[in-house]
Amino acid sequence: MARNLRDSVVVITGASSGIGQATALAFAREGAKLVLAARDAAALQQVAKSCREYGVDVLVAPTDVTDADAVRALAERAMSFGRIDVWVSNVGVGAVGRFHETPIEAHQQVIRANLVGHINDAHAVIPIFIKQRRGTFINMVSVGGFAATPFAAAYSASKFGLRGFSEALRAELSAFPDIHICDIHPSFVDTPGLLHGANYVRRAVRPPPGMSDPRAVAAAIVSAARNPRDVVTVGPLTNLIRFVHFLSPTLSARAAEWVIRQYFRQADRVPASSGNLYRPPVDPGGIDGGFRSKHRNGYAPIFLISLCVGMALGAAAQRRGNRFHPAR
């Protein structure tokens, strides 16, 4: 039975922009009580102001999820409402660049935010859920949890790890039928996050076509809070990429690498930057990244054709490798 979310207590990390901001507004429209967390206090206040226009109670709790003590304090503050019904673990950062050319500190920070941060979230709230004997933990994963992301190796590691973490946690909590661990897997989403990410490839990064509206992802999160499901995919490319990876992980990774490498060859040069890895962006950017309108020119078929060409080239390279390097 679908749950009524009015007056439910919802914690959202990474709520200062993008999917997090869209999700906060979506739950506010449902009448939920909100606890909004992110590193940028000023941006959170702006999101909270918009949410309060729906007549809901909102707490603002500036929090760095890589700090386990800070996340425990966030959970304690949320309990001022008397309970926690839903926790949306949404923080995510990225660093684009060849693995060996990206500083090891950047790789480590991506893992701290995208994987350890989500583990900190769960570690703070799961004991509360067990005491309540109910609760929903919604993990923002990504299509990157199903398929590798060349030129973003640490991001890929964090998302694969996050999917495995959810599966393990779901199994451990199987004795609690009213505690749910839900994974959200969007494809490419039009948020400011790509502009905020670290860039060590020194080329302008633009997302591929077929991007989802952040509000569609927020709607999927709200739907998972109403009717919890283990895995929710969002976006036209997610299931396609998931299927291709299932057929051949090696070919799908090689195809992605080929397409991205071709793009970088013609992309504009930009300075290297650590982006928002270590501090909030100067401009949170709101919900939208502004990329969707730029791709309404028929570029999507070109991208899909390029992906197929990449897979064909990857298959040919693999056959040549097998021919000239027989197993010993």
**Where in the sequence numbering do the catalytic residues fall?**
155
Which of these, 120, 166, 162, lies nearest to 145 by C-alpha position? Answer: 162
Q: Which residues contact 313 (CB under 8 A, 6 or more apart)?
A: 254, 255, 258
DSSP-assigned letter for residue 231: E
End-to-end CA gap in the chain: 58
Give the gyration radius of the chain's Cα atoms: 20
Alpha helices by DSSP H, listed for the chain, are 18-29, 41-52, 68-78, 104-111, 117-132, 153-172, 193-196, 214-226, 238-247, 249-266, 299-324
DSSP-assigned letter for residue 269: B
In which element (H, E) is residue 136 found? strand 135-140
Greatest Cα pair distance, the chain, in angstroms, is: 70
Q: Which residues contact 100 (CB under 8 A, 6 or more apart)?
A: none
Which of these, 300, 318, 183, lies nearest to 248 by C-alpha position? Answer: 318
Strand-pair category, 95-96 with 198-199: parallel
The sign one gets for the Cα dihedral 110, 115, 120, 125 is: positive
For 156, the token pair is: 């890929």
Cβ proximity of 209 and 165 under 8 Å: no
